[in-house]
Amino acid sequence: MSALLSLKDLWVEYGDKVVLERVNLEVAAGSFVSVVGPSGAGKSSLLRVVLGQEQPTRGSILLDGTPLAPECGPDRGVVFQRYSVFPHLTALRNVVMGLELEQAPFSARLFGSARRAARDRAAEMLGAVGLGHSLDLYPAEMSGGMQQRLAIAQALIKRPRILLLDEPFGALDPGIRADMHALITRLWRDYSLTIIMVTHDIKEAFQLGTRVLALDKRRHDPHAPHRFGATAVYDLALTKREEPSVDTGPETTLVTREDAA
């Protein structure tokens, strides 16, 4: 079976600074790839090129065997560590906005039945991330964990096949992070997603991933630290036992810990 996503001899350079070099990666559909590596190794840069936000300076990216369109497509969604939701919109409007931008790119407004359908879909997606009772809240009225749930709903509303996560839980308290792990595992399974997640937390990388990829420099030039970039220094496929179902039942059970906080 051919890979859903393949990076071939990929380089990312900023001026004379080499950030990534010779990255080769084949990502099978349905995998959950955890990406680890020191700060500055180019993890976020890697996600940006996969997202299509940035062009690699060399090499190619194939999605389903076809070169990636030079822009962000609906097939890829992204969640950053924080600040990706619109502060002036309610949870529901934040998620509807994603559909509006897709379906009405010029006016970003839907009307009549299209608008009702978008609202229904957005409300359903918010339910799926455990925010079914928070549709009318503004981000400032939400905990950090709830805001990340909202960001995930915003990314998933367009039904991407690939979800890119850049340290999505890094700013959250450990207890809330555990809830988010259960959530992302469930969404990964329920929506048949392929996930690439950057994390600083090695335990999280192994716990969630079906594969752990480490980016680091293989060679250093002490006189010119910019000369060499990072590449995949190890790439571990994890064989996991079938885990007990983390079906948490109704969506509300997922937010209890945050509600109590």
Footprint of ligand ADP on this chain (CB under 6 A)?
Answer: 14, 19, 37, 39-45
Pick between residue 25 and residue 92 the one whose CB is nearest to ligand ADP: 25
CA distance 14 to 35: 21
Alpha helices in the chain (DSSP H): 43-51, 91-103, 112-128, 144-156, 174-190, 202-208, 256-260
Q: How many CB atoms lie within 10 A of CB 44?
A: 17
Please identify, using beta-carbon distances, which residue of 39 and 239 lies nearer to ligand ADP.
39
Closer residue to ligand ADP in complex, CB, 76/186: 76
Q: Would you say 36 or 129 has its CB closer to ligand ADP?
A: 36
The C-alpha atoms of residue 248 and residue 241 are separated, in whole angstroms, by: 20
- Residue 54 binds Mg ion, judged by CB under 5 A: no
The answer to the question of residue 44 lying near Mg ion (CB under 5 A) is yes
Q: What is the smallest separation between the CB atom of 175 and ligand ADP, expressed in angstroms?
A: 26
To Mg ion, the closest distance from the beta carbon of 215 in angstroms equals 11
Minimum CB–partner distance for residue 44 and ligand ADP (Å): 3
With CB cut-offs between 5 and 8 Å by kind, which of Mg ion, ligand ADP, none does residue 19 bind? ligand ADP
Residue nearer to ligand ADP on the CB measure, 40 or 87: 40
Query: Do the Cβ atoms of 197 and 177 come closer than 8 Å?
Result: no
Nearer to ligand ADP, 14 or 86 (CB): 14
- The alpha carbon dihedral of 187, 116, 91, 43 has a sign of positive
As a whole number of angstroms, the distance between CA 183 and CA 152 comes to 10
Give the contacts of 254 (CB within 8 A, at least 6 positions apart): 130, 179, 182, 183, 248
In the complex, least distance from residue 69 CB atom to Mg ion, rounded to whole angstroms: 24
When CB distances are held under 5 to 8 angstroms depending on the partner's kind, the choice from ligand ADP, Mg ion, none that residue 40 binds is ligand ADP
Residue 225 binding result from Mg ion, ligand ADP, none, given CB thresholds of 5 to 8 Å by partner type = none
Of the candidates 212, 203, 153, which has an alpha carbon nearest to the alpha carbon of residue 181?
203
User: Cα–Cα distance between 196 and 213 in angstroms, integer?
Assistant: 10
Q: Which stretch binds Mg ion (CB under 5 A): 29-37, 40-48, 88-96, 209-217?
A: 40-48
Give the span between the Cα atoms of 23 and 68, in whole angstroms. 16
Give the binding site for Mg ion (CB under 5 A): 43-44
